[in-house]
Structure 1
Amino acid sequence: MVRQLHLRTQGGQESSASHPDIVGDRCLGPCLALCPEYCFILEDELGACGCVLGILDVRCFAKRCQASWMPAMRDKYPPKGGNTHPNTQVKLMEEDQGEYPDSLIYHFPSQLRLDALPELVDVSVSRTLLTALLTALKANGSQGVFCEVQPTDRQRLEFLTKMGFLEILRGEARSREGVVLGRLL
């Protein structure tokens, strides 16, 4: 399902025929494996078509990823041949666990990721998924949540702004081109 959702939301592109799950393992797997209570998946008649994934405590999550998720991924996707360098996708997974500024984490200790198919016309469904996640994070003690969005993703920026998110950082996102939006809970 992880692969199916990612492929559907990313236009059907797949990075590696030899490892068909690697894209899903990189983009959705850590949240689904380490904090499933904050993962909400939307399905239609063709399968998964959207999701909202949350992390209650980003710092704790990063430590858990390094301790359990990354070793599992290194075992699952070993270097090819006699190469000692990690698989490119595994290296990208490690970079995905980058550091955020303390000033960000202090006010916004939780993180979310929202993906939906562009043709998902009924934004009330995405709104419902996001509201469910925000409610769960707040009920478990979070005071704020942030997410990274590419500045070119106008539809997502507009949706999150309507949901009460404000731009809090630009250029300090891991992608260095992203915009960090945050919302107090």
Structure 2
Amino acid sequence: MQRREEQSPKLISDRLSSGDVAPTPQCALVVEDDIGVCGYALALTDAKQAAGTEQRPGSDTLLRDYPSMVVVQVMPRVTDPSPVRRMVTQLLSSIRSSGSRGVFCELRQSDRRMLDFYSKLGSFKHVPVDKSLPQDAVVMATKFQ
């Protein structure tokens, strides 16, 4: 019997966070507090290449509408979201200047803290995903004007 994680495809965000996929140059930022590094933001300005090895039905639409992807993680000890917002704003600006039309992020439903963070940014909205992603996957995205 296969384990559940072997049956479902690994998220691109998992591969980017773990270092299996390198972020686009100029698209890797960290935020620090008095203790040290407390968060990071990574991006791929073109996620198609990273998705190529994990091609899933329906992902073509997502990658066409939002070719870039971001991964943001912040330690729970961060109580002031302002530095993290500035980091994400800077990252999104870099992505936009690369010519991207939009950006998406993949999250796990269990990561309520980061789902709330993206929701509070105001520009990221939930995007329905196809059945080929793991059941616990949530995709949020924003298009650039």
Q: Which amino acid aligns with 2:102?
A: G
Q: Is the 8 A contact 1:107 1:144 kept in 2?
A: yes
Distance in 2 of aligned mates of 1:45 and 1:104? 38
Q: Which amino acid aligns with 2:115?
A: L
What's the CA shift string for 1:124-166, capped at 9, x where partnerless? 1111111011100001101000001122222211221122111
Unaligned runs of 5+ in 2: 1-14
Q: Which residue of 1 aligns with 2:32?
A: 43
Taking the TM superposition and a 5 Å limit, the aligned residue runs for 1:2-13 are none
Greater fraction strand: 2
Distance in 2 of aligned mates of 1:169 and 1:136? 26
* 3-state secondary structure, aligned to 1:142: coil
Q: Which residue of 2 aligns with 1:103?
A: 61
Name which structure has the greater RCO, CA cutoff 8 Å, separation 6+: 2
Q: Is the 8 A contact 1:145 1:182 kept in 2?
A: yes
Q: Is the 8 A contact 2:31 2:38 kept in 1?
A: yes
* 3-state secondary structure, aligned to 1:181: strand
Residue 175 (1) aligns with residue 137 (2)? no
Q: Is the 8 A contact 2:16 2:23 kept in 1?
A: no
Unaligned runs of 5+ in 1: 1-24, 64-96
Q: Which residue of 1 aligns with 2:73?
A: 115
Larger Rg: 1
Q: Is the 8 A contact 1:170 1:177 kept in 2?
A: no
Deviation at 1:51, TM superposition (A): 0.3
Q: Which amino acid aligns with 1:165?
A: F
Q: Which residue of 1 aligns with 2:17?
A: 27
Distance in 2 of aligned mates of 1:175 and 1:42? 30
- Equivalent residue pairs, number: 128
Greater fraction helix: 1
So what's the TM-score if we normalise by structure 1?
0.61
Distance 1:62 1:179, change over 3 A: closer
* Greater displacement, 137-146 / 151-160: 151-160
Q: Which residue of 2 aligns with 1:12?
A: none
Q: CA RMSD in A?
A: 2.4
So what's the TM-score if we normalise by structure 2?
0.76
Distance in 1 of aligned mates of 2:38 and 2:131? 30
Identity of aligned residues (%): 29
